[in-house]
Structure 1
Amino acid sequence: MSDPSPNGPGPAARIDQMVAQAKAKAERYQAMQAAAGQVSVTETGKDGLVTVTVDSAGNVTDLRVSDRIRELSGDRIAAAVLGVLRRAQSRLPERLGEVMAATIGDDQATVDTIVGNYRARFPEPEPDEPESPDPGNQVKLGALEEEAGAPAPKPPPVRRPAADPGDGDDDFGQSFMTRG
């Protein structure tokens, strides 16, 4: 059958072409989704004490802590872990942008929208956030009391109500469940 239009393909051919383009686009988006699902980012603190890996959703998938972390207080450890976690998460938009450019690079509006959503969800950490402060700048619990020479306060004694001598209770404080 010949093409009825001297100016180009007929309606059926154009529809076939649009269907083929839509299928190709759907395949590229499926490839992008699969590749984006495999994205992970690993970040290590400058001092090497903490290493965090996050998946494409920003969830922690691996956390490694050096034995040297014992030198830090709990607050310092938490600050180090959170600082490295935030840095790892903040690198997700860049990595996802790379994956998307390789798979659906011709759809810049979609790339910009998704990467923008990730940037809003995982912003760059504040530059002045301490990762793991100097362990020599710590105060140990009880150090202030030891320096002052004052003993720690004693807890108040436990007070029990006095038994009423006239209540006829002769089980001497035992449970009624143990009477024989």
Structure 2
Amino acid sequence: MDERVLDPDAARERMAAWKGRIDKLAADTQAMGARLREVQATAADPGGLAEVTVDSTGSLVGLRLTDRIHKTPPDAVARAILATLREARGQVADQSREVIAETMGPESAAGRAIADSVDQHLRAPQAPDEYGDGDFDLQTQMKKR
């Protein structure tokens, strides 16, 4: 039989070490969560039509359109916005991976799992929306609502 199991002092040391690892993991996770909530990214389309800003969840929090949209077909503007949104979401995924690696450590299994989940959420292909066919009509869309 393993004598360490019967040694109360050794058992207390192992429990203290285990608790220390758990406490560190909890603190690292809290720090990571706080830093991830602050992540934002802004991207501009190459054609100079739009600039979008997304938050840490990939949600659109800012949209700036330039005067160039007046000379551009609406479906091209929509495609530019969606492509730029995907770019910004990718930037958030990259920034999030960095935060996770810095706070959890690059070798952390929990960190890798979290990073993979964030990537899956932010880089997932967006389902075609009701405006994706290039036949967007504001009046028709307003009536649907």
**Do they superpose with TM above 0.5?**
yes
Partners of 2:106 and 2:112 within 8 A in 1? no
What is the rounded CA distance, in whole Å, between the counterparts of 1:99 and 1:105 in structure 2? 9
Counterpart of 1:99 in 2: which secondary structure? helix
- Following superposition, the deviation at residue 24 of structure 1 comes to 1.5
User: For residues 62 and 24 of structure 1, do their structure 2 counterparts lie closer, same or farther at Cα, with a shift above 3 Å needed?
Assistant: same
**How many corresponding residue pairs?**
118
What is the rounded CA distance, in whole Å, between the counterparts of 2:12 and 2:111 in structure 1? 32
- Indicate the residue corresponding to 2:82 in structure 1: 82
Q: CA RMSD in A?
A: 2.2
Structure of greater relative contact order (alpha carbons < 8 Å, 6+ residues apart): 2
- Indicate the residue corresponding to 2:134 in structure 1: none
Counterpart of 2:48 in 1: which secondary structure? coil
- Indicate the residue corresponding to 1:59 in structure 2: 59
Deviation per residue, 1:126-146 (Å, 9 max, x gap): xxxxxxxxxxxxxxxxxxxxx
Partners of 2:44 and 2:50 within 8 A in 1? yes
Is the radius of gyration larger for structure 1 or structure 2? 1
What is the rounded CA distance, in whole Å, between the counterparts of 1:62 and 1:39 in structure 2? 14
- Indicate the residue corresponding to 1:24 in structure 2: 24
Kindly indicate which of the two structures has a greater share of residues assigned to helix.
Answer: 2
Relative to the length of structure 1, the TM-score reads 0.58
- Which sections of structure 2, spanning at least 5 residues, go unmatched? 1-6, 126-145
- Which sections of structure 1, spanning at least 5 residues, go unmatched? 1-6, 126-180
